[in-house]
């Protein structure tokens, strides 16, 4: 049985690590996928380069190809890059009335998004919201916001013809304060392209309103341009996040990665249609899958990894049920723990092990200890691992020396092994009743 068990690991290691060639070949495809998704060239180049370094040498999961493995690594890295520190959907709206400034190019979806977010704030957060259109260039733009406001039951600032954007912003602040609103949203005018006049206007409004959030609205279907737009707006006005609209379309959303990489600002919301409910907070995995356009490969690799873990668990369980728990088993457990982020977490998941996890924590157990324990086991002979009862004083000395540690360290390991073996035996018995099965899931 233990041969079959180690067979799993043999197969795992036989396929071995990703070679430089494996990674290079797969990354060529990834690069094309990124560019097709409208990720800007320099961003795609940097991203691929970083992955090249990261992926080379990583283990390949059984039953997937190296190429598939690389794509999974790319996917995870995309998610990592796209994930901000904060909750994307949580707008800063403390200290009422909190101003939110909406900026972006003409037609990007500012007015629509303003109304969508106002509706969300009202319904989800129970906030009283006032919306004001600062778009003095097109009279219809102000009407548009008023109509949307009426539709969603959110107040809009009365339209006064002939006022400058800065004056409208001041009036909005006044009205929001007097009217006891929690939030007021300023929907600015856009231009077809970035120009000085637009930037000056937005800066002036910003200085008057001192917004808690400045959201840049960008059309998710725009490719390369999005990066310029984002860095211009961030440099001149300072943005706190990005809303990506038209993600209901065919666009693959590469702009998200480009903007994130260039400005470092988080994507906060995604627009998914013209309707007032068609907005949701940003989910990095979804965009990562879209950008890569290789979602099936990602799930295949995930599946393969899960299968291996399940097989391993199954075999372990059978051994434990028979009360078998030698040093090889312990080593495997220790390695698994190292992989899963420490002993405490793993033990906490097993019934009856919570108390032990606490003791372990008190003893200052960390990864370096796990590594030392693994080294001790490695220093044992095959026979000793299979039968720890063999370990008398002279053998102990040899083993400790081999691992560069003290005999007292080895004694601690042996004590832990005994405790765990006892526990496994008990759980093995319970396991026939299904409890261990539960625990191993
Ligand atoms: P603004 O000039 O930036 O204020 O842009 P608007 O809010 O007026 O939007 C321009 C057009 O895009 C309108 O027809 C909107 O209905 C449409 N629009 C805005 N957001 C989305 C979206 O997420 N998906 C789709 N399909 N259309 C959108
Ligand atoms: Mg507008």
User: What Å distances lie between residue 337 and 211, 325, 396, CA to CA?
Assistant: 46, 16, 25
CA nearest ligand 1 atom 25, residue: 273
- Per the domain annotation, does 194 fall within a domain? yes
Picking from 225, 259, 281, the residue at the C-terminal end of a domain is: 281
109 and 275 Cβ atoms separated by less than 8 Å = no
Q: Give burial (CB, 10 Å; 0-12/13-18/19+) of 302.
A: middle
Q: Is the same domain home to 59 and 115?
A: no
Q: Is 194 helix (H, G, I), strand (E, B) or coil?
A: coil
Strands 183-187 and 129-133: parallel
- The residue that leads in pLDDT, 342 or 275, is 275
Q: Is the pLDDT of residue 440 over 50?
A: no
Q: Pick the atom of ligand 1 nearest to 247's CA.
A: 23
Residues 109, 78, single domain; the answer is no
CA of 111 to the centre of ligand 1 (A): 7
Q: Does residue 159 sit within a domain?
A: yes
| Number of the ligand closest to the Cα of 191 | 1
Same domain (yes/no): 71, 187: no
The ligand 1 atom nearest the CA atom of 105: 3
Residue 213 DSSP code:
E
What does DSSP assign to residue 85?
Answer: S
Which among 172, 176, 228, 160 has a CA at the least distance from the CA of 199? 228
Atom of ligand 1 nearest to the CA of 116: 20
Residue nearest to atom 26 of ligand 1 (CA): 273
Task: Point out the domain boundary residue: 51, 85, 119.
Answer: 85
Residues 345 and 427 in one domain: yes
Whether residues 121 and 205 fall in one domain: yes
CA 393 vs. chain centroid, Å, equals 50
Residue 51 lies in a domain: yes
Which residues, other chains included, contact 200 with Cβ-Cβ below 8 Å and sequence gap of 6+?
A: none
**Confidence band, pLDDT 50/70/90 cuts, at residue 320:** confident
Q: pLDDT > 70: what percent of the chain?
A: 83
Name the pLDDT band for 441 (thresholds 50, 70, 90). Answer: very low
**pLDDT score recorded for residue 276:** 95
Of all atoms in ligand 1, which is nearest to the CA of residue 270? 23
Torsion of CA 132, 134, 137, 141, to 10 degrees: -20
Do 64 and 107 share a domain, yes or no?
Answer: no
Helix (H) or strand (E) holding 244: strand 241-245
List the domain range (segments joined by +) for residue 26. 2-85
Structure-token pair, residue 324: 């078998």
- pLDDT for the residue numbered 333: 77
272 and 379 together in one domain: no
- Spatial neighbors of 42 by CB under 8 A, at least 6 apart, are none
Give a yes or no: residue 287 inside a domain. no
Q: Is residue 91 part of a domain?
A: no
Query: Do 75 and 196 share a structural domain?
Result: no
110 has a pLDDT exceeding 90: yes
**Counting runs of H as helices and runs of E as strands, what totals does the chain give?**
20, 8
Vertex 277, ends 274 and 279: CA angle to 5°?
A: 80
Question: Which burial class, exposed, middle or buried, applies to 135 when counting CB atoms under 10 A from its CB (0-12, 13-18, 19+)?
Answer: buried
Token output for 188? 């600015």
Residue 150 burial (10 A CB sphere; 0-12, 13-18, 19+)? exposed
Q: Is 12 annotated as a binding residue?
A: no
Report the CATH number that the domain containing residue 8 is assigned in CATH: 1.20.120.140
* 181-210: pLDDT as tens digits: 999 999 998 877 778 888 899 999 999 999
Q: Residues 224-233: pLDDT tens digits?
A: 778 888 999 9
Give yes or no: residues 134 and 200 share one domain.
yes
Say if residue 64 is in the same domain as residue 132.
no
Two tokens, residue 292: 């890569």
In a domain, 408, yes or no: yes
Beta bridge partners of 217: 104, 243
Residue 11 has pLDDT above 50, yes or no: no
Domain boundary among 85, 120, 152: 85
Q: Which two tokens stand for residue 412?
A: 């601690």
Answer for the pair 87, 319: CB distance below 8 angstroms, yes or no.
Answer: no
- At 58 the pLDDT is 80
User: Could you tell me if 105 and 224 lie in one domain?
Assistant: yes
CATH for 230: 3.40.50.300
Q: What is the mean pLDDT of residues 105-121?
A: 96
The count of structural domains within the chain is: 3
- Among all bound ligands, the one having the nearest atom to the CA of 134 is 2
pLDDT digits (tens, 9 = 90+) for 406-432: 999 999 999 988 888 887 777 666 554
Question: Which neighbouring-strand residues pair with 149?
Answer: none
The pLDDT-based confidence of 438 (bands split at 50, 70, 90) is very low
User: Is the CB of residue 121 less than 8 Å from the CB of residue 323?
Assistant: no
Q: 326 and 408 in one domain?
A: yes
DSSP-derived letter for residue 158 is: P
Q: What is the rounded average pLDDT of the residues 354-378?
A: 72
Ranking 33-47, 112-126, 155-169 by mean pLDDT, the lowest is 33-47
Do the Cβ atoms of 292 and 47 come closer than 8 Å? no
265 in a domain, yes or no?
Answer: yes
Backbone angles phi, psi at 92, to 5 degrees: -80, 105
Longest CA pairwise span in the chain (Å)? 96
Tell me the helix, strand and coil percentages in the chain, rounded to 5: 60, 10, 30
pLDDT at 297: 62
Query: Edge to edge, what strands does the sheet with 155-156 contain?
Result: 155-156, 129-133, 183-187, 98-104, 213-219, 241-245, 267-271, 279-281
Is 240 annotated to bind ligand?
no
With a Cβ cut-off of 6 Å, ligand 1 is lined by 104, 106-112, 190, 217, 245-246, 248, 271-274, 278
Mutate to test the pocket of ligand 1, among 148, 216, 274, 287 (most ligand atoms within 8 A of CB): 274
DSSP label of 17: B
Beta bridge partners of 244: 218, 270
Burial class of 9 by CB neighbour count within 10 A (0 to 12, 13 to 18, 19+): middle
Ligand 1 pocket test, pick from 103, 112, 135, 226 with the greatest ligand atom count within 8 Å of Cβ, gives 112
> Is the predicted pLDDT of residue 157 greater than 80, yes or no?
yes
Is 292 part of a structural domain of the chain? Answer: no
């Amino acid at each position: 049985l233990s041969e079959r068990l180690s067979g799993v690991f043999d197969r795992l290691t036989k396929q071995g690590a990703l070679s430089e060639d494996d990674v290079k070949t797969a990354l060529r495809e990834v690069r094309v996928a990124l560019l097709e998704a409208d990720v800007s060239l320099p961003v795609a180049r940097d991203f691929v380069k970083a992955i090249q370094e990261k992926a080379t040498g990583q283990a390949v999961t059984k039953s997937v190809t190296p190429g598939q493995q690389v794509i999974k690594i790319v996917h995870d890295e995309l998610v990592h890059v796209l994930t901000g520190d904060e909750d994307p959907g949580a707008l800063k709206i403390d200290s009422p009335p909190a101003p939110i400034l909406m900026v972006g190019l003409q037609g990007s979806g500012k007015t629509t998004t303003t109304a969508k977010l106002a509706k969300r704030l009202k319904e989800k957060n129970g906030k009283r919201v006032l919306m004001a259109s600062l778009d003095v260039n097109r009279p219809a733009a102000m009407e548009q916001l008023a109509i949307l406001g009426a539709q969603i039951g959110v107040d809009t600032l009365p339209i006064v013809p002939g006022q400058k954007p800065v004056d409208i912003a001041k009036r909005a602040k006044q009205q929001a304060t007097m009217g006891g609103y929690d939030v007021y949203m300023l929907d600015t005018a856009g231009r077809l392209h970035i120009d000085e006049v637009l930037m000056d206007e937005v800066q002036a409004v910003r200085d008057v309103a001192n917004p808690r959030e400045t959201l840049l609205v960008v059309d998710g279907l725009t490719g390369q341009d999005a990066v310029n737009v984002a860095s211009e707006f961030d440099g001149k006005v300072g943005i706190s996040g990005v809303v990506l609209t038209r993600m209901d379309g065919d666009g693959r959303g590469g702009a998200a990665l480009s903007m994130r990489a260039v400005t470092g600002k988080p994507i906060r919301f995604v627009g998914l249609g013209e309707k007032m409910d068609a907005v949701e907070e940003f989910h990095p995995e979804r965009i990562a899958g879209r950008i890569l356009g290789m979602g099936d490969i990602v799930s295949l690799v995930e599946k393969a990894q899960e299968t291996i873990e399940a097989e391993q668990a199954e075999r372990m369980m059978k051994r434990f049920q028979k009360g078998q728990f030698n040093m090889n088993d312990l080593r495997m457990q220790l390695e698994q723990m190292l992989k899963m982020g420490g002993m405490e977490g793993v033990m906490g998941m097993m019934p009856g092990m919570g108390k032990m996890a606490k003791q372990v924590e008190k003893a200052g157990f960390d990864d370096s200890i796990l590594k030392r324990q693994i080294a001790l086991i490695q220093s044992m002979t095959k026979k000793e691992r299979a039968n720890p009862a063999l370990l008398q004083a002279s053998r102990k000395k040899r083993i400790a020396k081999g691992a560069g540690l003290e005999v007292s360290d080895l004694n601690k390991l042996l004590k832990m092994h005994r405790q765990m073996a006892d526990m496994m035996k008990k759980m093995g018995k319970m396991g026939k009743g299904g409890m261990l099965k539960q625990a191993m899931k």
